[in-house]
Amino acid sequence: MKLFVALLTILGNILLVLSPAYAATASKDEYEGMNVLCVGCSSGIGKSAAEHLLAGGAQVVISSRTQSKCDEVAKAYKKAFAIVADASNAESLEKLVEQSRKAFKGNNKKITHLVWVPTSSSFGNLANPAEDLIKAMQDQLDLNVYNLIRTFKLIEDDLNQSQGAVVSVSSYMGSTSTIGSLSYGFAKTAQDRIIKDLAIWGASNGVRVNAVAPACIETPMFEVVGDYKDTLLQDFTWRHALGRNGQPDEVGSVIAFLLSKKAGFITGQTITIDGGASLLNTFTDVNNFLLPPDLVHDKTYFSKHTPPPSSEDATQQEQEL
């Protein structure tokens, strides 16, 4: 009889833990005490990560180039602060760090964690002139590498004193060839390497640095191809072993996890979230694109449907994933 009661008790506890109500209660303060700077996080993957952190009790600065988008995310949470910044501009980043410290409530004004999401719309097609291609590569490096390092150094003392963590958004394209995205993939490869260096540098102070590398996630980033957005997204589905594209929350939740204490023994890693795309290697198969026939072999396709480097959007650089 005692054994039977004990088994019922164990079963009851298991069911309790698995229940949605318990899960919500257990996670509501999971990120309490964190002051997180989220750069490029007013939509898509970044927005999802910020919302997970806010739901878990963190204070979060929502930053991107667009005030209305930042406000839209922040207004739903008491601990969210909307601050506009251009992640391609060093002076803007310095102001962002200063304003973020002032925004956080309580005695701890340090930036304890960083989420880095911004990238450039300059994807870089080999069909373009060399100077345009090099400019696109420089734009991507500025956001994915140089300004990530710059921001890390700006908040390094905060991170050290907090034993904080950093997560950047890399890409599956950093580890494979992909049609029409030389500069983007090149910069993401460089970022993956930088993550390891930053992780080694911060380890002695208990600072962890990681990245996530998604494949095709349905975000506003695909607006750059205009009317072909739906066609392109449809084409990408079969390029994942799971037969579908990913959603922002499937990446944002991993970012939040990597910042948490549960990931306390993970550093210097780029976590692939690709729906099995790397198992198939289909992103290089140009002959099976579902785009219109005249575009399948058109090497200028991406240059036609991506803002040129001289445009206002490309100059400002930041596109949220």
Q: pLDDT tens-digit profile of 224-277? A: 667 778 887 888 888 888 989 999 999 999 999 999 999 999 999 999 999 998
Compute the radius of gyration of the chain from its Cα atoms: 21
Indicate the pLDDT class of residue 14, thresholds 50, 70 and 90.
Answer: very low
Describe the crossing of helices 20-27 and 2-18 by its angle, rounded to 10 degrees: 70
Please give the angle made by the CA atoms of 208, 214 and 217, to the nearest 5 degrees.
135
Give the mean pLDDT of the chain. Answer: 82
Q: How far apart are the first and last CA of the chain?
A: 57
> Residue 234 is which amino acid?
Q
Q: Is the pLDDT of residue 12 over 60?
A: no
Q: Which tokens in the block code for residue 137? A: 């590569």
Distance CA 259, CA 231 (A): 35
Topology of domain 30-319 in CATH is Rossmann fold (3.40.50)
Confidence (pLDDT) at 308: 42
Average pLDDT value for residue range 188-200: 96
Which pLDDT score, from 0 to 100, does residue 25 have?
Answer: 32
> Structure pTM?
0.80
Q: Which tops the pLDDT comparison, 24 or 292?
A: 292
Tell me what pLDDT residue 107 has.
86
pLDDT in tens, 70-85: 999 999 999 999 999 9
Least confidently predicted of 48-57, 151-160, 168-177 = 168-177
Overall average pLDDT of the 30-39 stretch: 96
**Amino acid identity, residue 165?**
A
Mean pLDDT of 15-32: 53
Share of the chain above pLDDT 70, in %: 78
Q: What is the pLDDT of residue 277?
A: 87
Please report which residue ranges of the chain form alpha helices under DSSP H. Answer: 2-18, 20-27, 44-55, 67-74, 90-103, 130-141, 147-154, 156-162, 182-203, 229-237, 249-259, 277-280, 293-296, 301-305, 312-316
Identity at 47, one-letter amino acid code? K
Ranges of each domain in the chain:
30-319
